[in-house]
Amino acid sequence: MAIKRTSHAVYDTRYHITPTIAIAGSEIQYEFVRASGPGGQNVNKVATAVQLRFDVGNSPALPNDVRERLIHLAGRRITEDGILIIDARRFRTQERNRQDAIDRLVELIRKAAERPKLRRKTGPTLASKRRRLKSKRRHGETKRMRRSVLRSEE
C-alpha cells in the first residue's frame, strides 16, 4: 500500500497512516550505521543501514488506544522510554533502507490502529446438545448392560 506524503523533504513530510492518523516527519529520527551484507566495495565505507527512532510515548499524533496496541505489537523493538527502534539493512542504499524503515513503521501503526474484534460468547448449538445427550444415553446403556443380572428364585 502506498504512503501518501504531503511534502518531499524528509523532515517536513507528513505520513498519512489512516484517515485520522498522520505523523510529522520531525517526529522520526534516523541514524545511519554501517551494515553487514550486500554492498560490494562500499560495505566498509558507507553507512547504509538505517535505525529509525519514533517516540511512541510522547507522539501527539497517536490516540491512547492506538499507542497501547502499538507498544504491545512492537514487543522488544520498543525501549523502556517508549521509543520504537526499527532497524533496516535489507538494501544497498541509504534511501531504500530509509524508505523500508518508514514502510515498516507505517505498517506497524496501521496494525495498531485496527480495533480488535470483541468476542461474543455463543451457546452450544441445538445439534451439539443433541449429540451430547445421545452420547450420554449410549454410554449409560453400555453401563446398564454391564450390570450383573439378578436371577429371581422360582
Mind listing the pLDDT tens digit for each residue in 4-16? Answer: 443 344 556 778 7
Class for domain 4-113, per CATH? Answer: alpha beta
Residue 93 and residue 71: Cα distance in Å, rounded? 29
Residue 45 and residue 39: Cα distance in Å, rounded? 10
Residue ranges covered by each domain of the chain: 4-113
Mind listing the pLDDT tens digit for each residue in 91-129? Answer: 877 788 888 988 888 898 888 888 888 989 999 999 999
Mind listing the pLDDT tens digit for each residue in 30-81? Answer: 888 776 665 566 666 677 788 888 888 888 888 888 888 888 888 888 888 8
Q: How many helices (H) and strands (E) does the chain have?
A: 3, 6
What's the per-residue H, E or C state across 93-120?
Answer: CHHHHHHHHHHHHHHHHHHHHCCCCCCC
Q: Tell me, yes or no, if the pTM score tops 0.85.
A: no
